[in-house]
Structure 1
Amino acid sequence: MRFSAPFLSVVATYLAVGVQANPVASPEVNITARTTYFSGLATYYNPNGNYGACGARMQNSDFIVALSPAHYHNGAHCWQHLNVNYESKDIDVTIGDLCAECTTEGIRLSSGAFSALAPLSAEIISVVWNFE
């Protein structure tokens, strides 16, 4: 296949500009359009200094979350962060454990994280969460 010299010149210029360009995020860019949000029930537990499924000791006061097997993916998400929202309150939690009995979209928060959203007496709350 043969290409004309002007065509090759345009392609070369395009590639050179593309390689040198430095993308800069604009404050007007809506990156949440690419984020998947999950709705589910959140419960809480007390890690009490025990090891979580990701291999580290966790305290009740740590902002830790345990994911369902569907999202835990055999530990592939260990130490990543989630944003959890409940009634206009947002918290950042770290994935440190597996919740084998959680529904697919359900999560289990450490008691410290849960109490930042609602009183522990609520026991179960409906949350929206996403991977950060």
Structure 2
Amino acid sequence: TDLFSGTYYGTGLGACGITNKDTDFIAAAAESLFDSFPGATANPNNNPICGKKVLAQYEGKSVEVTITDRCGGCTLEGSLDFSPSAFSQLADMSVGRIHGMTWQFIS
């Protein structure tokens, strides 16, 4: 299993064309994964990764999120950028960035 990093961001209108709130359990996929996802086109709103459910795990904690955005600042392909509510299920917000996270698509 690959280990990835994760952090959080202030949500809003995402690359999938969905407006999110910080309380939504959502995440942005790293741009390299988002852009190369099978079926991706020039219109990010139509990317098949949009709406996919992910189960992320870190140090015995887990959270289920929906991919609704593209993370332009995520340089590692498997990195995820979480809404604050989702990130706080994995670690305290003061941590900022977690390393050693695993995740998988569940839908």
Shorter-chain TM-score bucket reads: 0.7 to 0.9
Letter in 1 for 2:84: S
Measured in 2, the distance between the counterparts of 1:55 and 1:66 equals 12
Aligned length: 94
TM-score when normalising by structure 1: 0.67
User: Residues 38 and 130 of structure 1 are in contact (CA less than 8 Å); yes or no, is this contact kept in structure 2?
Assistant: no
Report the CA distance shift for 1:60/1:131 in structure 2 as closer, same or farther (over 3 A). same
Residue 38 of structure 1 and its aligned partner are, at CA, apart by 3.8
User: Residues 46 and 111 of structure 1 are in contact (CA less than 8 Å); yes or no, is this contact kept in structure 2?
Assistant: yes
Using the aligned pairs only, state the percent identity: 33
Residue 8 of structure 2 aligns to a residue whose secondary structure is strand
Measured in 1, the distance between the counterparts of 2:50 and 2:2 equals 18
Corresponding residue number in structure 2 for 1:18: none
Report the CA distance shift for 1:55/1:38 in structure 2 as closer, same or farther (over 3 A). farther
TM-score when normalising by structure 2: 0.82
Residue 70 of structure 1 and its aligned partner are, at CA, apart by 2.4
Residue 66 of structure 1 aligns to a residue whose secondary structure is strand
**2:26 aligned with 1:64:** yes
User: Residues 43 and 114 of structure 1 are in contact (CA less than 8 Å); yes or no, is this contact kept in structure 2?
Assistant: yes
Corresponding residue number in structure 1 for 2:98: 125
Letter in 1 for 2:4: G
Structure index of larger Rg: 1
Residue 46 of structure 1 and its aligned partner are, at CA, apart by 1.4
Runs of 5+ in structure 2 lacking a partner? 41-46
Structure having the higher helix fraction is 1
> Aligned match of 2:6 in 42, 46, 52?
42
**Relative CO higher for 1 or 2, CA cutoff 8 Å, sep ≥ 6?**
2
Residue 76 of structure 1 and its aligned partner are, at CA, apart by 2.1
Structure having the higher strand fraction is 2
Residue 70 of structure 1 aligns to a residue whose secondary structure is helix
Letter in 2 for 1:40: F
Runs of 5+ in structure 1 lacking a partner? 1-36
Corresponding residue number in structure 2 for 1:79: 51
